[in-house]
A and B are shown apart, each in its own frame.
Chain A
C-alpha cells in the first residue's frame, strides 16, 4: 500500500502556509546500520510538528540532521527553500533545545541567553532588550543574573528555550526536552510550551517517544519506526485512523485482529468466532479495535455488531474495568466503565459500532 505522506494529513490548521523545512528522500546510514530511510516531510510555517516513535526509530537523528549536527547520507534537507545539507550548525537558521539542556555552567542565565546574539555579533545595544524580552517570554526576567545551577529543573528548561528563541530561528528544534522532568512538571511544561509556541508563532519540531505528549501539543505528528515514516497527520487522524498495525499499537492500546473475508463486506477470524462488517479490503486484513470502543453486557445489546465471549481476567482501575475476553481463540482487551461487573469465568456479550474497527494497511516497509 503506497501512501504519499507529503499530502497526507492536510487537515492541519497550518495547511497552505509556506514550507519552512523540507526533507526529500533523506537517508542516514551509520556503517551498515540504516538509521533513517528515505524520509520525506514538509513542515510548514508556524506548525507544532512532532516526530514520535520508540527509541532508536531515527527521530532524534532526523532532528539532528535538520539542526546540522549530522549530514544525511542521501537526500536533501531544505530550510526556507535553501538546500542546507552542507551548512554547519552555526550558519543555520535553526536552534535546538537539547535533551540535556546544555546550559553553559560558567555563564549566568543572562549570558547563556545572550550567547547566540554575541556569537552572531548582534550590536550590543540590541542584545540587552532582546535578552530581556526572551526572559520575560518564559517568565524568568527576575532571574537574569542567577547562576543556572541555582534554578529548578523547570526554570533551567525555560532558560534553554529562551536561549534558543532569542535568536529568532526559522525553526526551533526540541529533542525530548522534558525527558528529565518529573511527571507533574512535565504536564505543566507541555501546556506552557504549546502556549508559548502559539504566542511566538515559531515553527517547532518536537521529538518525543511519549504519545500523550505528542497528542497534547502537536498540530501534526509524524510517527516513525525503524528509521521509516509510518504515518503523518493530526493527532486525531493518527489515533482514530491509524494506517499501520505499528501506529495503532504505538498510539494508545488496541486490539489487533487478523481477519479473512467470508463474503463481500463481512470478515471473520479464522476460527469464525468473531465476525466483523467492514468495507471491502481484500482477502485478508488486520483490524484495529480500541478497547474503549468495545461495550459489554446490556450496553452491548444496542450495538450494531456483537460477539459472545468469556472473561478470563478482570482488573479494576478506579473508574474503569479492564477485561481480557476470549472470543473463540481471539483475546480482546476491553476497557469500560465499571457500572456492570463481570468476574473471571463469566460469559458476556461484546458489542461495537460499525465505524469502530479500523482496517490497517500493511506496515510501511
Chain B
C-alpha cells in the first residue's frame, strides 16, 4: 500500500505543461480554421473602424457622423423599414407554404416519392440565384406565362404589371428561400415518434387536435430554425431586389453596394452594421423564445417507422409546391429555345440561336475559368479546415464546444454584402483587391460554417469507440484519424465538397464587392449581362448550367449510395 500512498500524496497542479500537451491536438486541428476566422474578424474590425471615419479617404478625426447621417436620413429609415417588411413578408410566406409542405413530405410513405419531391424542392438550390431570378423575370414579364394564362382564362383583359413590383421580389424570394424553411421543419417532423401521435389518438384526441396539440408544439424547434435562416438570408438578399425590383424596391443590401460604389464607405459600413443588428436581433429573440419554450426533450427513442398518410390533399399540395419550385427553372430552359429576343409565352418559334450566340458572340471563358478555380480552391480549403475543426470540436474541446461553434457560425450570421464590403476594404489594404486569392479566401470563409456543420454532424455519428479501438490496436492519433475516422465520414466529406463548391460557384453578394471589371465570375458576368441585355442568351447559359448541376447531383447520389453500406453498418453497430 505504500506506493499508493506516495502517489496519492503527490500534489496535482490544476494547470501545467501536461494539460497544454493534452490540448496540442485540438490546437493543431483548429489552426487552419482559426486563420480563416481571424481573416474574417480582421475584415469586420477594419469595416467597423471605417464607420468612425469622416470619409473613405480621410482617417482623422474620428467621428460618428456616418451614424448621424444614417439615423437622421429619411431614406435610410425607409430602407430599414422596407428591409424589415420584406423580411417579414417573405418569412411569413415561406412558413405558410413551407410548413404544410414539410408536413406532407414527412408523412409520405414511399421513399421514392420522398426522394422525388425532395429533389423538386431542393434541386433549385443548385441553380444560381441569378438564374432563378431570371426565371421569375421571364414569368412575370407582360407577355410572360402568368399574364398569358390569366388572359387565356379570361380573368384579365390587359396584361398586369407584375414585374418591378415589391410583389415580384417577394414571390421570387419565397421561391429562393423555400428549401431553407422546409428542410429544418421536415427533419424535426421526421424525428417525432409516431407513438406520441398514437398515444394522443388513444387518449381521445382527434386528428386536428393531435396535430395542433402534439405535432405542432413538437415541430416548433424546426419552425424557429427555419424562420431564423430565412429571415437572415432574406434581408441580405441582393439579386432579387436589384433585378426584379427594377429600382423600385428599396432595401438595405442593394443600397450598401450602391453606397460602396459612391465611395461612402463609412455610411456603407453603418448600413452593414444595421443589417447585421437586425439579423442578430431576430435571431437572438427567437433563440430566447425557443429556450423558454423547449426545455423538454423527447423521451425514449424516435420512431423507426415514421407516421404516414395517404391523403389526396397532401399529394395535391406537394405537386403544387413542386410545380412552383420547378416552374422558374423550366421556363428558363423553354426560354432558351425562344426564337425572338424578348420574353414571350408561348414562344413564337423555336431556335438554337441563343446557344450559338453564347458560344460565338460572347467570351464566357475567363469568367468560367475564374469561377472554377475559385470554387475548387475555396472548397478544398473550407472542407479541409472545416473537417479538422469539426473533429477537434467532436473529440477534444468538450467544454468550449458551444463557444467554438458560435465563432465558426459568425460568417453565416453576417450578411453576405457585409462580408463583401469588409473583405473589399481588407483586400485593398492587403493589396490583393481584384485577385483570385481575395475571392478564394472570402469564399472559404463564407463556406466554412457549412463544412463545419456537415462534418460535425458526421463525426457525431462515428462512435468514439472506433478510435479507441484503433489506438488499442497500436495506431497512433494521425493514423487513427486517416485510416479509421476519415473513411467513415467520406460521404460527408464528399457532400461538403460539393456543397461548398456549388455555394462558391453561385456566390454573388460578396463577390460583387471583390471582382474587378474584366475579371469576373460566372454569376456576376450573368448579372452584368442581364442588366445590359434582356435576350435569352442568359437562358441558354442557364440551361447548360442546370444540366451540369443535375449531372453533379446524380453523381453524388450515386457515389453516396455506393458508399452507404459503411454508414449503415456504423449505425447498426452504434445501436448496440
Chain A interface (Cβ within 8 Å of chain B)? 24-27, 38, 40, 67-69, 73-76, 88-92, 94-96, 98-106, 115-116, 119-120, 147-149, 163-164, 167, 179-180
Give Cα A187 to B12, complex, Å.
46
Give Cα A88 to B474, complex, Å.
9
A75 to chain B, nearest CB (A): 5
Judge whether B158 is part of the interface by a CB distance below 8 angstroms. Answer: no
Asked if B4 contacts A25 (CB within 8 A), the reply is yes
Asked if B568 contacts A149 (CB within 8 A), the reply is yes
Residues in A whose Cβ lies below 8 Å from that of B490: 106
Asked if A106 contacts B566 (CB within 8 A), the reply is yes
Asked if A75 contacts B465 (CB within 8 A), the reply is no
Judge whether B476 is part of the interface by a CB distance below 8 angstroms. Answer: yes
Asked if B475 contacts A115 (CB within 8 A), the reply is yes
Can you name 9 A-B pairs with beta carbons within 8 Å?
A25-B8, A74-B7, A90-B471, A99-B576, A100-B576, A102-B469, A119-B473, A119-B475, A148-B569
Residues in B whose Cβ lies below 8 Å from that of A38: 4
Interface string of B205-228 (1 = CB under 8 A from A): 000000000000000000000000
Residues in B whose Cβ lies below 8 Å from that of A164: 472-473
Residues in B whose Cβ lies below 8 Å from that of A120: 474
Picked from B4, B480, B488, B566, the residue with its CB within 8 Å of the CB of A24 is B4
Chain B interface (Cβ within 8 Å of chain A)? 1, 3-5, 7-8, 10, 12, 463, 465-466, 468-476, 479-480, 483-484, 487-488, 490, 565-570, 572-574, 576
Asked if A149 contacts B474 (CB within 8 A), the reply is no
Given contacts A25-B4, A74-B8, contact A90 B565 (CB under 8 A): no
Give Cα A95 to B471, complex, Å.
9
Asked if B8 contacts A167 (CB within 8 A), the reply is no
Picked from B10, B471, B483, the residue with its CB within 8 Å of the CB of A89 is B471
Give Cα A76 to B5, complex, Å.
10
A109 to chain B, nearest CB (A): 13
Picked from A25, A100, A101, A147, the residue with its CB within 8 Å of the CB of B565 is A147
Asked if A89 contacts B472 (CB within 8 A), the reply is yes
Give Cα A89 to B480, complex, Å.
12
Residues in A whose Cβ lies below 8 Å from that of B5: 25
A16 to chain B, nearest CB (A): 22
Given contacts A24-B4, A76-B4, contact A115 B473 (CB under 8 A): yes
Give Cα A163 to B474, complex, Å.
12
Greatest chain B CB density within 10 A among A95, A98, A119, A167 is at A119
Picked from B4, B471, B476, B565, the residue with its CB within 8 Å of the CB of A40 is B4
Q: Which residue of A lies closest to B570 (CB)?
A: A105
Given contacts A90-B475, A98-B468, contact A106 B488 (CB under 8 A): yes
Asked if A105 contacts B488 (CB within 8 A), the reply is yes
Residues in A whose Cβ lies below 8 Å from that of B473: 90, 95, 115-116, 119, 163-164, 167
Asked if A104 contacts B7 (CB within 8 A), the reply is no
Q: Which residue of B lies closest to A22 (CB)?
A: B3
Given contacts A25-B5, A102-B463, A105-B566, contact A167 B573 (CB under 8 A): no
Asked if A76 contacts B7 (CB within 8 A), the reply is yes
Given contacts A96-B469, A96-B472, A100-B465, contact A105 B4 (CB under 8 A): no
Give Cα A99 to B574, complex, Å.
10
Residues in A whose Cβ lies below 8 Å from that of B476: 90, 119
A-B CB proximity, top 8 nearest: A25-B4, A116-B473, A105-B569, A119-B475, A102-B469, A119-B474, A74-B8, A106-B487
Picked from B7, B487, B567, B570, the residue with its CB within 8 Å of the CB of A75 is B7
Asked if A119 contacts B479 (CB within 8 A), the reply is yes
Given contacts A105-B565, A149-B565, contact A67 B474 (CB under 8 A): no
Q: Which residue of A lies closest to B469 (CB)?
A: A102
Residues in B whose Cβ lies below 8 Å from that of A25: 1, 3-5, 7-8
Other than the known A38-B4, A90-B470, A90-B476, what 15 A-B pairs have Cβ atoms closer than 8 Å?
A: A25-B3, A25-B5, A25-B7, A25-B8, A67-B472, A68-B472, A76-B3, A89-B468, A90-B475, A100-B576, A105-B570, A115-B470, A149-B568, A167-B474, A180-B576
Give Cα A201 to B324, complex, Å.
71
Residues in A whose Cβ lies below 8 Å from that of B8: 25, 27, 74-75
Residues in B whose Cβ lies below 8 Å from that of A89: 468, 471-472
Residues in A whose Cβ lies below 8 Å from that of B479: 119
Asked if B471 contacts A88 (CB within 8 A), the reply is yes
B503 to chain A, nearest CB (A): 28
Q: Which residue of A lies closest to B466 (CB)?
A: A102
Asked if B474 contacts A90 (CB within 8 A), the reply is yes
Give Cα A237 to B490, complex, Å.
53
Picked from A27, A73, A90, the residue with its CB within 8 Å of the CB of B472 is A90
Residues in B whose Cβ lies below 8 Å from that of A101: 573, 576
A347 to chain B, nearest CB (A): 49
Give Cα A95 to B473, complex, Å.
6
Residues in B whose Cβ lies below 8 Å from that of A24: 1, 3-4
Q: Which residue of A lies closest to B467 (CB)?
A: A102
Q: Which residue of B lies closest to A26 (CB)?
A: B4
Give Cα A16 to B566, complex, Å.
48
Given contacts A102-B463, A106-B566, contact A116 B474 (CB under 8 A): yes
Asked if B469 contacts A149 (CB within 8 A), the reply is no
B332 to chain A, nearest CB (A): 41
Greatest chain B CB density within 10 A among A25, A76, A96, A102 is at A102
Residues in A whose Cβ lies below 8 Å from that of B574: 100
